[in-house]
A and B are shown apart, each in its own frame.
Chain A
Amino acid sequence: MIDAIISGANGLIAGFANLHWSNPVMMAIGCLLLYLGIKKGFEPLLLVPIGFGCIIVNIPLAGLMEKEGFLRTIYDAGVITELFPLFIFVGIGAMTDFAPVLENPYTFLLGAAGQFGIFLTLLFALALGFKYNEAVTIGIIGACDGPTVIYVASQYAQNLLGPCSVAAYSYMSLVPVLQPPIMRALTTKKERETIMKTHQKTVSKTTKLLFPIVITIVGGLIAPKGLPLLATIMLGNLMKESGAVERLTRASQNEIANIVTLLLGISIGATMDGKVFVQPTTIIILILGFIAICLDTACGVLFGKVLYYITGGKVNPLIGAAGISAFPMSARVVQKEGQKYNKKSYLLMHAMGANAGGQVGSVMAAAVMLSVLKGMGVI
């Protein structure tokens, strides 16, 4: 009888007894993510499920990520199959208005310049000894585009999925803090004060409708390995612009995006098991991700400066900082920064153009990267 009671009681303390030192550390990190999401409002839609997933996966013996565990089932169904990031892209496409980039097609180039950090960070990652596929995945953090990072990591470096996704989403949410100092450091006061001409509405409905179709066909032909990324975001946008499938558009913007965000977030949190996550590699990835995003901003601003000189001072170089995928946060940062130096300066629509270009640019960069890897026989 006593033995039975002791055995039964042992069952209640087994969780504590099996706690690895890294588990409480990760629970604390999970709580930090919850704090950032709930109290600070940094990407709460993702940081809340990620933080909670991180906490529960670090409770020993629950077996959430073991075969047939509920987190494992969600993870295998949506992350391993790459479906979750792609569904998210349908939602992003349905929510994004690409009109600002169509008003000024040259802002596509700012979206391209904003991807330079990806490729430079890839070099750093290689120098630090990461394998080719891992270096590519780390570089993609610089796209500042969570779903793209998850898509690439789930295909080519599943071991880095947790740290890379956390880095991407954390830095995305920190764009308002990270970008302004870089923008100020690389521009002169005169450049920051530049007023850009306001545009009248000049994009026809036909052009808006053709945009997703043309991008999908041309982009897909150039970089077929990235077609799933490109096609899903453009499908969402086509549905939005066509106006013919209101129900599907609304579902993509709301129900689909919300459900998948929840499942994706909790799945990412589930990869943050302390025994796997707490290691020097994670710190290195976080640092490299930080470098990637800073380099993207710097390259975007520098390209903006080139445009400033080419156009004889008609382009405010600050809009180059918006050539990343953090949409529309980055454009708002540019607007705010521009207004600090010139109250008459309204950069929002121009920055939105660069930002929408960055959205396409990040997907295109990932697509091109995957196709180059395929061409080189690496994947």
Chain B
Amino acid sequence: MMDRWTFGLTMLVVGMGGTLLTLMLLSVIMALLKKVFPYNPDEEKKG
């Protein structure tokens, strides 16, 4: 069983790092999706 500090610091580094990286990845994917499917006012009106 790991000690408390190893656990806490692992959670901080991997947990926060993982959250940051995941959201970074998602923001990149969403930016790409915006490029692939750009906003077109005419199409949006057609629904």
B27 CB contacts on chain A under 8 angstroms? 105-109
Q: Which chain B positions have C-beta within 8 A of A116?
A: 16
A107–B26 alpha-carbon span in the complex (Å): 11
Interface mask (A202-226 → B, CB under 8 Å = 1, otherwise 0)? 1111110011001100110011000
Whether B7 and A126, one on each chain, are in contact in the complex, defined by CB atoms closer than 8 angstroms, is yes
> What's the Cα separation between A223 and B37 when bound, in Å?
27
- B18 CB to nearest chain A CB (Å): 4
Cross-chain contact B23 with A202 (CB below 8 angstroms): no
Our pick among B16, B22, B29 for the contact of A223 (Cβ within 8 Å) is B22
Interface pair A214/B33, CB less than 8 Å apart: yes
Interface pair B23/A369, CB less than 8 Å apart? no
Counted as pairs of residues, one from A and one from B, with CB atoms less than 8 Å apart, the total is: 124
Complex: chain B residue closest to A102, CB-CB: B30
- A368→B34 CA distance, assembly (Å): 26
The answer on a CB contact under 8 Å between A364 and B8 is: no
A207 and B33 CA atoms in complex are apart in Å by 6
- What residue in chain B is nearest A110 (Cβ atoms)? B23
Assess the B11–A372 pair: CB atoms within 8 A: yes
| Interface check A253, CB cutoff 8 A | no
Residues of A within 8 Å of B30, CB to CB, are 101-102, 105, 108, 207, 211, 214
In the assembled complex, which residues on chain B have CB atoms less than 8 Å from the CB atom of A373?
A: 11
Are A360 and B23 CB-contacts (below 8 A) given A210-B37, A211-B30, A214-B29? yes
Stretch at the interface among A117-125, A157-165, A312-320: A117-125
A residues within 8 A CB of B25?
218, 222
Q: Mark A70-83, 1 if CB is under 8 A from B, else 0.
A: 00000000000000
Query: How far apart sit A126 and B8, CA to CA, in the bound complex (Å)?
Result: 7
Chain B residues 8 to 28 lying within 8 A of chain A, measured CB to CB, are 8-12, 14-16, 18-20, 22-28
B28 is contacted by which of A105, A119, A127, A223 (Cβ under 8 Å)? A105
Distance A214 CA – B32 CA, assembled complex (angstroms): 12
A214 touches B26 (CB 8 A): yes
- A210 to B30 Cα, complex, angstroms: 9
- The reply to whether the CB of A146 lies closer than 8 angstroms to some CB of chain B is no
CB distance from A40 to the nearest CB of B (A): 33
Please determine whether A119 and B15 come into contact, CB atoms closer than 8 angstroms: yes
Decide: A112 and B34 in contact? CB cutoff 8 A: no
Chain B residues packing against A (C-beta within 8 Å): 2, 4-5, 7-12, 14-16, 18-20, 22-31, 33-34, 37-40, 43-44, 47
Given contacts A122-B11, A203-B39, A210-B37, 17 further A-B contacts (CB under 8 A): A108-B23, A108-B26, A108-B27, A109-B23, A119-B16, A122-B8, A122-B15, A202-B38, A206-B33, A206-B37, A214-B30, A214-B33, A215-B26, A222-B18, A222-B22, A365-B16, A372-B18
